[in-house]
């Protein structure tokens, strides 16, 4: 995929979330099943003193609300970033101090900016990125994001990232194939790679988001790209009716 196509897909995704922020957030209130396994890995870091967290593409901050419940005796200090302010809403969570900053990750990467400098956060215990990597169209950009997250945590700290595997759902895959075919013709999109799709929202196809379906080899490659700065601490599947819609990668900073 060339940069021009990638930028167009990122623009479509940005416009998608701006258009459907309210209805999208309303369907994203319950915690993901996989977060319980993430919390198990994070447990040794949550010693009751405090837990410093970086959340890239934080959405409506439901992961932070989940963590407050998972570690009620541990104050959370969160640096949260997203480009869709309406999706974030009020960053007021009892039990957590949330510092929210508007950040368009795609725009930063396409401008060849330093994502770490754009974050400007202090070293943290845990850096997470959930429900976002599948919106990043270029493999080099995905590597850059993961490397930035690794650099953001202290030695011994953890990075937790999810990778959508929508093809594990025949229903989702069929819908993605149909919408992609229609949208590609309508918008004259070329250069989509294996695993690249466009999806609408509910019954709408006038708003579109780019989504990538990750295979295991791609997850392997991303984990290898940040070695030897980090080692793999865990990898597992979770979420959805069959428990396999997301593939989670947890890395420990060395």
Encode pLDDT of 185-196 as tens digits.
999 998 899 999
The CATH architecture that domain 3-253 belongs to is 3-Layer(aba) Sandwich (3.40)
pLDDT at 89: 72
CA 57, CA 223: separation in Å to the nearest integer?
20
- Cα dihedral: 133, 148, 238, 11 (round 10): -10
Q: How confident is the model at residue 210 (pLDDT cuts 50, 70, 90)?
A: very high
> What residues have CB less than 8 Å from 181, skipping those under 6 apart?
none
pLDDT in tens, 99-134: 999 999 999 999 988 999 999 888 999 999 999 999
> How many Å apart are CA 108 and CA 142, to the nearest integer?
13
pLDDT tens-digit profile of 159-179? Answer: 999 999 999 999 999 999 999
Nearest one of 171, 119, 126 to 145, comparing CA atoms: 119
pLDDT at 155: 97
DSSP 1-33: --HHHHHHHHHHHHHHHHHHHHHHHHT--SPPT
Q: Is the pLDDT of residue 48 over 70?
A: no
Geometric angle at alpha carbon 116, from 80 and 7, rounded to 5°: 85
**Cα distance between residue 12 and residue 10, in whole Å:** 5
């Amino acid at each position: 995929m060339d940069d021009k196509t990638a930028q167009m897909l990122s623009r479509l995704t940005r416009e998608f979330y701006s258009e459907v922020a309210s209805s999208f957030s309303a369907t994203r209130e319950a915690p993901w099943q996989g977060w319980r396994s993430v919390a198990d890995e994070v447990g040794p870091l949550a010693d009751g003193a405090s837990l410093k967290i970086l959340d890239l593409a934080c959405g409506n901050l439901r992961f932070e609300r989940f963590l407050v419940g998972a570690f009620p005796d541990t104050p959370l200090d969160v640096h949260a970033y997203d480009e869709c302010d309406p999706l974030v809403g009020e960053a007021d969570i009892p039990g957590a101090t949330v510092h929210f900053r508007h950040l368009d990750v795609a725009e930063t990467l396409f401008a060849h900016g330093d994502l770490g400098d754009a974050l400007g956060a202090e070293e943290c215990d845990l850096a997470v990125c959930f429900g976002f990597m599948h919106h990043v169209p270029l493999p080099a950009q995905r590597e850059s994001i993961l490397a930035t997250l690794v650099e953001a945590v202290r030695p011994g700290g953890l990075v937790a990232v999810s990778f959508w595997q929508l093809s594990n759902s025949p229903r989702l895959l069929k819908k993605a194939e149909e919408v992609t075919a229609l949208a590609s013709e309508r918008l004259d999109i070329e250069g989509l790679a294996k695993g690249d799709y466009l999806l609408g929202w509910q019954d709408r196809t006038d708003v579109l988001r780019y989504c990538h379906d990750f295979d295991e080899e791609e997850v392997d490659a991303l984990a290898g790209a940040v070695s030897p700065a980090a080692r793999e601490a865990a990898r597992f599947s979770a979420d959805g009716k069959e428990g396999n819609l997301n593939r989670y990668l947890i890395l420990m900073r060395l």
